[in-house]
Structures are given as structure tokens and as C-alpha cells.
């Protein structure tokens, strides 16, 4: 494809995207397709002939878009806000157009240095001190795995240079709660710690925050038993019920015993752009690593997870690769982000943060986050004031966990009712929410915060929820 | 940013990209900036005010582009071809415009199913049997780490469900060669095996291919000593000298002992699109996993590494996460790619492969690869016919390793001479190659295969190299 052909096809694609985003609200929220339906739109054999850009754009509309769950839709309240602001999308488009290669500073100095710049801007905007240095990872899962690898190597005094975890005499332990994101356990298992060396710390039954006295007891007992507490992963805004582990109190324990403290703020890191929310991670300066995802609520298009560490030398020592064909004469003067994570080759992801801040601006981003907090408070108020409806967990940010419990409905029958009304709404395409299990029973997470979601949309949702819950209760 | 504002800014950006790509040859290949120079173009404090799309586009040109090493430049012969074909860039732009969320089939059925489709197309196009199923990872580093985690769990009978590697009685071993990519050792260390449990298998001194008798001896000795050989990582086209380990003979050993065989074809996988090259990985059907990067020579824009496995159940069992808020009613009928790798959230990367094949077409891609093979043969022929010039390794594909050795120049003086002429060229911005160490001495890798590189460019390079080597020899 020549630059001139690209110009023509690119203009057509930009127009299509602008129309698509403008008309999004007309589409069903959840994709209305069955398993295999999208796959069947395509030939099983690799095409021998090129189709051309015009045909592909038609296919994109007719064969692919029906298979997209519209997470940018204002009636999307599922999982978490996965905002892909058009400002940040433009930065991603610039990255695609440039076609850079990020394997070293030398292969693209601008990609390294703009990443330094925007990571430091975000550090300041979330109120972190100059002690932190950041980089962009793809997701919080990868950030957490990286943090646990750093913890493993610190606690084992660089076992990777000897027999690895296989030579470990005293078992290294990882502490977290059941409320932590599934990626925390996955990261601990992939890092080789083993299920038997994971400790689930007790939680406060109301807030599902980590119980610090339980952590202290576990750690003391484990040390006495000859184990080595290696890492605590604390949640700042869990996925389930937006639980906030008490960072300052946890940090007092980790500091005392030299345990690595990783703060997983994947979802709630966006809230730290608001000074009035920062009490929620009070004590964070005493952590060893922090990860949060601008690609969630803040709205920088996926993939964009920020990982901050205090001890950069340790990071580089654990993650470094330095073959001769990657060396250059300036290695001592520059950052080599390949030594800050797993992949060697990296895209120019700093551009989307730069575009997002440069076009939308931090003031409008903050105003939108505050709007969402208001909407969540309003919605929670409506639910809790209405008979037979409950808000099941403290509403710390923009997620509201709810249940409809008609009189006399309990146990499995209640579960069936909950799934019936939420699935009816999800299947209709009118709105989408995530059913989720809390203390063994199904409830519904209403995660407010899509860029396009206004108060009117939340009002519409509340009416819709009540109507559907009544409908299914009538036939229960 | 509204869709209408996006439309306007998007058209301006597309025009800029088309011009940028068309005029690329006018720019220096290697960025002509010093460490810190790009960073100094930006304020240290996060901007309070939005700059706007017009200003950003001006800044992109004036503040960022000077810091880009032009790997799409026809005179770029460094590292490896990192082609970002405009056809595939268009697919990445579509992905940015759609703003999808890939955390489950349900969150975007089209992203899952188009990935199935294109991975299967590429399977067919590289001549692999139906036994293989693939997915898209970011890089070969991540693919290799994933493969070694699968190997670890198979050899340890799922130690992650018990004490992890910490409970491992008999040490698990990983075998590879010094010629393997640096990411192989990095992956083995991150997976927890430990440096002492890595075996560097001897190589054929001429081809630097893995010596199979040495592998057999090592494996037999290690088993006798009570160790467990867990994985062999074989290179199909190493980064250094394009070495090809003998897959069929290695597979005979791994099959006999139940060792996981991972084939790292990051660079040379593209060559397997050509039937006449497939003898280079003969026996690959007996491997357990294969990774190769369309984002290298084939030219699908980074990030796009394909990881194929035979035992999908094993993959999912090792990498699975299944919290309640991600479950859906169709889980048994669909692929959940979150269980095929480390990250939970995934971009819609299948689009760029689909666009690449759909616009450029496989015939033109194959023709371009053959052109590059021809150019490499021509170049190697010129070098080897010229006095004092040597081709240092067999030219199996498109990389030619060369050295200029004027009569009487040896040892450190030869190293100094090599670095002098290659650095002079690299610093000038006229062309770029990678100096690299072979058997303790510097040589120069000339990696041919940028989409824009024609025979004329290679002729120009050969003249340039000879001139600069003469120039620096005169002052040595």
C-alpha cells in the first residue's frame, strides 16, 4: 500500500470512525451474536486475493461491528469503564502512522523520552512524590506480575542468578485478600510462588478491606515458622466492590519486615487525579510499587497501565537484557525501558497519554470523573431509598453493588431472580451490567463512568432496572 | 473530544502521516539527537491547559519526529526489519477507532473470533498442520516466557497448585544455546528456573546451530544426576547470525524424554510463508510451541507475535483466570484468550493482520520477501568477492554478517576499525546497521528487508560501506 493509497483509505476510515462513534447509542450495548457467528463471516482458507480497503471497510461494518460489545455506549455499566477517548485514540493513530520500533533508546529516543515525560506528568497529577519513576505496561496483570518478580528477587537475594526458586530453602510467601483481582493470584502462580505459599488475609466483613491485625498475625506466625514473607499486594479499589485496603497500616508492617508492598490501583488510580480522593490510598508513599490503568476510568485508550517503582536499580537488575546487538555508546545516559518489563519491543504508547492530556486537558478529565462520582451517589441513593432494593457495599467511587430482594425471596431463588433480571437487560441490548458473586450470592455491579454516560442515562437505567426486576418477579 | 472534532483532526493527521511516509527517505536514518534532547522539548510540569489537536500535530513534527530512528527508511539495515506496512497500520487505526475491550469473548466476540480466523490463516500460510492453534501476543519475549511457564507446569505436574517451584525436589532444567535471543534467558530467569539450571548446549562452530549430540549427552547426564529436563528452546533464525537449530533431530530427543520443545522463529517465521524455505524448520510439527513475529519481516505493524501451541487444554489450565464477574453463559462454547497469556485486557490486534492480508495480499508479501532474499544473496556475493572483505556466517535468509579486515589488522585494532566505519555511517544518518559481537570480536550485521528497500538501495549501501571503511582505514 503506497502513502497515496493510504491517504485515500485513511480519510474514508476516519469518516467511518467519526460516524461510528457519533451513532454508537443506536447500537445494542451487548453484541447480539452467538458463539461462532462472527467466525462464520470469514472464509476458513486464507485469502489468495487482496480484497482492497473499500471492501474491508464494508466488511468492518457488516461482518465485525455486529460482534462488538459497545463499551463506549452510554448505557454500558459492565465490568469497569474502559473509556477510549477519541483524543487518546488519535495518539494511537499517530503511533500507528509513525511505525516506530521501541527496543532501546537508540531505536527511538522520542518514544523513551516522551514516556519519561508523561509518566512524570501523571505522577504529579496523582500527587505522588519525586521518589517514583514510572513506565507504561500493557495491563495491570502484567504490572502485578512484574512487581511480584521484583519482590521475589529482593526477598531471595537474586535467586535468579543461582538456582532460582528451585534453590529456595525458606519458602517465600505472598499475602493478599480474596477481594483482590484474579490477576494477583495468577501473577503469584506464574512467578512460581505456588498456591500453598499464598496467604489470603482476612477482610473486614462490611468493607472487604484487608484486616491489618490479621495480616500482622499471619506475618508473625509465618516468620516464626521459618518462612519469608516476600510481598503484600494491596487493593486500592478492588474490582468486585471497590474495596480499599488500608495502605498506611499495611505499610507499617511491610516496612518493619522488609516485605515488598505492591499497590494495585488498576481501577481507582484514576480517582487519584482528584485531590479529594487521595485519602483512599493514604500511606502509598511507603509502598514499593504502584500500578494503575489510565485505560480504565480516566479514558486513555487500552493498552495503558502505569507501573511506578521507587527502586529503579533493582527493577533493571531483575529485568535487564543486554546483548551486544542492542548496546550503544549512550547506555549509561539513557533509560532502556526494555529493562522495565517483559517485552523487548514496545509500541509508542506515550503518544496516547500525551494526546489525551493535550486535547481533552486535565481539567475536563477531572470534571468528568467528578460527574461520575455524583451520578453514582445519586444512583446509590435511589436504590437504597427504594423498598426491596439494597446497596450491598459502601460506594467509595463510581461502582454500586445492588440487589433486588422481594419479600420472602432467599437463597437459590434469590440468585435465580437476580440473574433473571440482569440477564434480561443484558440480552436486550438496552444496557449492560456485570452480575457478580458476593459472599456466595449473585449481585449486580453497576459501574458508572463511560465518557458518554450522563445523569439522564443513569436515570434511564434505574427505571429500566426496576421495570425488569418487577417483570421477572411476576413470573418467578 | 467530540466525533466531529475527531473527524477534523483525524483527516489532518492522516494527511500528515501520508506525507511523512512518502518523504521518509529525506530524513536521517538514525535519530540525530543526544540523550535528554527530546525530553527537554516538553515542560517538566503537567500542562494545566489543553493545547489542541493542531498544536499537537505541529509538536509531533517539530518536537518528536527528530527523535525517531527511521526503521521504515530504505537505508535502515539495523537489528531486523521492523516493517509497519501502511495496510496493517490502517488495521491498527481501525482498532483505535473502535475502542473495544478484550477481556472475554463476551466483551468483544469479534475480537476473539477474528483472532481465531487470522491465526488459522497464518497457520495455513506457513504450512503448519491443523494440530496447531494460535493467538496473538505482544512480542516473542512474552511468547517465550509463556512457553516456558507451560513447560515448567508440565514438567512439575502443576507445581503452581502446590508449593510452586519452591516445592520442587528435582531441579527442572532449560536447554538452549548462546546464540539464542537474549529474551530466552530472560524468560527462563523470570519463570524462576534460575541461572544454574540453564544449560548452554554446544554449537556447530560454523553455523552456530545447536549441536544435537551435545544436547543428547547433556540430557542423558542430567537425567542420570536426578534432574528433570523441562524445556528446550530452539532457534529458527537467530538474531545474531540467523542460525537454524536442527528441529527434527532436537525433537527426536525431546519426544523421547517428554521435554517441552519451544521453537523461537521470531525473525525467520516470516520466511515460512515461502514453501521453499520451510526445510529450515523441518520437524517443527513435533514441537510443543512455536512463536514468530509478523511484526518483523512480514511487516504487520508491531505488536504482533504469533504463539502456536498443540495442547490448548494445558495452556488454559496453566494460564486460566475465572472470577465470577468474567463468567458468561457461553464459556464452554468459546475461546477465552485471557487464558492464553499474561494480560487480561487485550487490544483488537487481529484487525491489523486482517488488513495487511486484505490490502497487500499474500502474493505481494511473498514477492517482497523473495526480493529481499535475492538482495541479500547479491550483497553477500559482492562482499565475498571483494578483497579484505568477509561474509562471516552462512546467509540463510536476509541478514549478512560482514567484516572488513585490511591486511595485518587483527585483534583489538580490528575491533576498533570495525566500530569506526560502522559508527561513522550510523552517525551520519545515511544508513544504519547493527554492530554485533561474534566469537568475541565485533562484526556488522546487515539486515536487509525493509519494505522500501530496493536493489538500488543495497547497491548504494555497498558503495557507502566500502568508501567509509577505506576512509577510516586511512587514519587507523
A 372-391 → B contacts, CB under 8 A: none
User: E strands within B209-355?
Assistant: 228-235, 260-264, 289-292, 305-309
**pLDDT for the residue numbered B473:** 83
Q: What is the pLDDT of residues A204-216, one digit of tens each?
A: 999 999 999 999 9
List the single residue in A34, A161, A360 with the smallest CB-CB distance to B195: A161
**pLDDT for the residue numbered A476:** 64
Q: What is the pLDDT of residues B137-193, one digit of tens each?
A: 999 999 999 999 999 999 999 999 999 999 788 999 999 999 999 999 999 999 999
**pLDDT for the residue numbered B369:** 98
Distance CA B293, CA B300 (A): 8
Q: Is residue B399 within a helix (H) or strand (E), and if so which, with residue range? A: strand B399-404
CB B245 within 8 A of CB B284: no
Q: What is the pLDDT of residues A234-258, one digit of tens each?
A: 999 999 899 999 999 999 999 999 9
List the single residue in A96, A121, A145 with the smallest CB-CB distance to B46: A121
DSSP annotation of B426 reads: H
Q: Does A53 touch chain B (CB under 8 A)?
A: yes
**What's chain A's average pLDDT?**
96
Distance CA B159, CA B165 (A): 6
In sequence order, what are the beta bridge partners of B199? Answer: B175
Place B417 in a pLDDT band, splitting at 50, 70 and 90. Answer: very high
Query: Which of B111, B93, B327, B136 shows the shortest CA–CA distance to A71?
Result: B111
Q: Closest-CA residue in chain B for A164?
A: B194
Relative orientation angle of helices B140-155 and B312-319, to the nearest 10 degrees: 90
B12 SS3 class:
helix
User: Which positions in chain B touch A9 (Cβ < 8 Å)?
Assistant: 90, 359
Q: What is the pLDDT of residues A21-59, one digit of tens each?
A: 999 999 999 999 999 999 999 999 988 899 999 999 999
Query: Which of B323, B208, B290 shows the shortest CA–CA distance to A437?
Result: B323
Place B40 in a pLDDT band, splitting at 50, 70 and 90. Answer: very high
User: Which positions in chain A touch B159 (Cβ < 8 Å)?
Assistant: 194
Place A339 in a pLDDT band, splitting at 50, 70 and 90. Answer: very high
Q: What is the pLDDT of residues A98-135, one digit of tens each?
A: 999 999 999 999 999 999 999 999 999 999 999 999 99
List the single residue in A67, A96, A106 with the smallest CB-CB distance to B92: A96
DSSP B126-195: TT--TT-EEEEES-HHHHHHHHHHHHHHHHTTSGGGTTGGGG-SSPEEEEE-TTS-HHHHHHHHHTT--G
Distance CA B232, CA B58 (A): 50
What CATH number belongs to A362-475? 3.90.1150.170
Q: Closest-CA residue in chain B for A322?
A: B182
Residue A323 clears pLDDT 70, i.e. is over it: no
Q: What is the pLDDT of residues B56-74, one digit of tens each?
A: 999 999 999 999 999 999 9
Spell out a b/e string for B365-391, using b for 16 or more CB atoms within 10 Å of the CB, else e.
bbebbebbbebbebbbebbeeeeebeb
Q: Do B120 and A44 touch (CB under 8 A)?
A: yes
Domain ranges of chain B: 94-360, 362-475
Range B94-360 has CATH code 3.40.50.300: no
Distance CA B304, CA B409 (A): 43
Lowest-pLDDT range, A159-168, B35-44, B106-115, B392-401? A159-168
**pLDDT for the residue numbered B325:** 62
Of the two residues B255 and A46, the one the predictor is more confident about is B255
**Mean pLDDT within B246-272:** 98
List the single residue in B33, B85, B165 with the smallest CB-CB distance to A165: B165
Q: Are B94-360 and B362-475 in the same CATH fold?
A: no
Residue B342 has which C-alpha cell? 499474561
Q: What is the pLDDT of residues A371-414, one digit of tens each?
A: 999 999 999 999 999 999 999 999 999 999 999 999 999 999 99
**pLDDT for the residue numbered A326:** 67
List the single residue in B5, B71, B171 with the smallest CB-CB distance to A166: B171
Residue A188 clears pLDDT 90, i.e. is over it: yes
In sequence order, what are the beta bridge partners of B404? Answer: B389
CB B304 within 8 A of CB B156: no
A434 SS3 class:
strand
A377 SS3 class:
helix
What CATH number belongs to A3-68? 1.20.1340.10
Residues 6 or more apart in contact with residue B11 via CB below 8 angstroms: A11, A14
Test mutation, B84, B110, B321, B441, chain A, max A CBs within 10 A? B110
Test mutation, A325, A350, A362, A416, chain B, max B CBs within 10 A? A325
User: Which positions in chain B touch A125 (Cβ < 8 Å)?
Assistant: 46
Residue A329 clears pLDDT 80, i.e. is over it: no
Residues 6 or more apart in contact with residue A325 via CB below 8 angstroms: B79, B239, B240, B434, B435, B436, B445
Q: Does A6 touch chain B (CB under 8 A)?
A: yes
Q: Does B328 touch chain A (CB under 8 A)?
A: no
**Widest pairwise Cα distance in chain B:** 75
**Mean pLDDT within B8-37:** 97
**pLDDT for the residue numbered B230:** 98
Q: Does A319 touch chain B (CB under 8 A)?
A: yes
Residue A331 clears pLDDT 80, i.e. is over it: no
B 57-96 → A contacts, CB under 8 A: 60, 64-69, 71-72, 78-79, 82-87, 89-90, 92-96
Place A324 in a pLDDT band, splitting at 50, 70 and 90. Answer: low
Q: Does B226 touch chain A (CB under 8 A)?
A: no
Q: Do A6 and B17 touch (CB under 8 A)?
A: yes
Q: Closest-CA residue in chain A for B317?
A: A186
Q: What is the pLDDT of residues A150-169, one digit of tens each?
A: 999 999 999 999 999 997 88
Q: What is the pLDDT of residues B77-125, one digit of tens each?
A: 999 999 999 999 999 999 999 999 999 999 999 999 999 999 999 999 9
CB B235 within 8 A of CB B229: no
List the single residue in B68, B79, B166 with the smallest CB-CB distance to A98: B68
Residue A452 clears pLDDT 80, i.e. is over it: yes
**pLDDT for the residue numbered B422:** 97
Q: Do A47 and B364 touch (CB under 8 A)?
A: no
Residue B347 has which C-alpha cell? 487490544
Q: Does B53 touch chain A (CB under 8 A)?
A: yes
Q: Do A89 and B106 touch (CB under 8 A)?
A: no
Place A332 in a pLDDT band, splitting at 50, 70 and 90. Answer: confident
Of the two residues A322 and B154, the one the predictor is more confident about is B154
Distance CA A78, CA B378 (A): 58
Q: Do B94 and A17 touch (CB under 8 A)?
A: yes
Test mutation, A96, A122, A360, chain B, max B CBs within 10 A? A96
Long-range contacts of A468-473 (CB under 8 A, 24+ apart): A468/A421, A468/A424, A468/A425, A469/A404, A469/A417, A469/A421, A471/A421, A471/A424, A472/A417, A472/A420, A472/A421, A472/A424, A473/A404, A473/A406, A473/A409, A473/A417, A473/A421
Q: How far is A115 from chain B, CA to nearest CA, in Å?
A: 9
Amino acid at each position: 500500500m503506497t502513502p497515496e493509497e493510504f491517504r485515500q483509505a485513511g480519510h474514508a476510515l476516519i469518516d467511518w470512525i467519526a460516524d461510528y462513534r457519533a451513532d454508537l447509542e443506536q447500537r445494542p450495548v451487548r453484541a447480539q451474536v452467538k458463539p461462532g457467528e462472527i467466525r462464520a463471516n470469514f472464509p476458513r482458507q486464507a485469502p489468495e486475493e487482496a480484497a482492497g480497503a473499500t471492501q474491508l471497510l464494508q466488511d468492518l461494518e457488516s461482518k465485525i461491528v455486529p460482534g462488538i460489545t459497545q463499551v463506549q455506549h452510554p448505557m454500558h455499566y459492565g465490568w469497569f469503564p474502559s473509556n477510549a477517548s477519541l483524543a487518546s485514540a488519535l495518539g494511537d493513530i499517530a503511533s500507528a502512522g509513525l511505525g516506530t520500533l521501541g527496543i532501546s533508546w537508540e531505536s527511538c529516543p522520542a518514544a523513551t523520552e516522551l514516556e519519561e515525560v508523561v509518566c512524570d506528568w501523571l505522577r504529579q497529577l496523582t500527587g505522588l512524590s519525586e521518589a517514583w519513576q514510572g513506565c507504561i505496561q500493557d495491563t495491570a496483570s502484567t504490572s502485578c506480575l512484574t512487581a511480584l518478580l521484583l519482590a521475589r528477587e529482593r526477598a531471595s537475594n537474586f535467586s535468579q542468578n543461582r538456582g532460582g526458586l528451585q534453590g529456595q530453602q525458606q519458602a517465600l510467601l505472598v499475602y493478599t485478600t480474596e477481594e483482590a483481582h484474579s490477576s494477583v493470584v495468577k501473577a503469584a502462580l506464574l512467578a512460581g510462588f505456588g498456591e500453598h505459599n499464598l496467604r489470603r488475609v482476612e477482610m473486614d466483613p462490611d468493607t472487604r478491606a484487608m484486616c491489618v491485625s490479621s495480616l500482622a498475625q499471619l506475618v508473625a506466625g509465618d516468620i516464626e515458622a521459618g518462612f519469608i514473607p516476600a510481598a503484600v499486594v494491596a487493593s486500592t479499589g478492588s474490582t468486585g466492590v471497590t474495596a480499599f485496603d488500608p495502605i498506611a497500616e499495611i505499610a507499617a508492617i511491610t516496612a518493619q519486615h522488609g516485605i515488598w508492598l505492591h499497590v494495585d490501583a488498576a481501577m481507582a488510580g484514576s480517582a487519584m487525579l482528584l485531590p479529594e480522593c487521595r485519602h483512599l490510598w493514604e500511606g502509598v508513599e511507603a509502598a514499593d510499587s504502584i500500578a494503575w490503568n489510565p485505560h480504565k476510568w480516566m479514558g486513555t485508550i487500552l493498552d495503558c497501565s502505569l507501573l511506578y517503582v521507587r527502586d529503579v536499580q533493582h527493577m533493571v537488575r531483575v529485568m535487564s537484557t543486554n546483548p551486544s546487538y542492542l548496546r550503544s555508546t549512550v547506555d549509561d545516559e539513557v533509560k532502556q525501558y526494555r529493562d522495565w518489563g517483559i517485552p523487548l519491543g514496545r509500541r509508542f504508547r506515550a503518544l496516547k497519554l500525551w494526546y489525551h492530556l493535550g486535547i481533552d486537558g486535565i481539567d475536563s478529565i477531572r470534571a468528568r470523573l467528578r460527574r461520575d462520582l455524583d451520578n453514582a451517589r445519586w444512583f446509590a441513593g435511589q436504590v437504597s431509598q427504594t423498598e426491596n432494593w439494597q446497596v450491598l457495599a459502601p460506594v467509595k467511587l463510581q461502582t454500586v453493588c445492588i440487589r433486588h430482594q422481594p419479600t420472602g425471596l432467599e437463597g437459590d431463588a434469590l440468585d435465580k431472580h437476580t440473574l433473571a433480571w440482569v440477564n434480561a437487560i443484558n440480552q436486550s441490548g438496552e444496557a449492560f451490567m456485570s452480575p457478580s458473586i458476593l459472599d456466595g450470592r449473585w449481585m449486580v455491579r453497576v459501574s458508572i463512568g463511560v465518557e458518554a454516560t450522563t445523569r439522564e442515562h443513569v436515570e434511564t437505567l434505574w427505571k429500566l432496572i426496576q421495570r425488569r426486576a418487577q417483570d421477572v418477579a411476576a413470573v418467578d
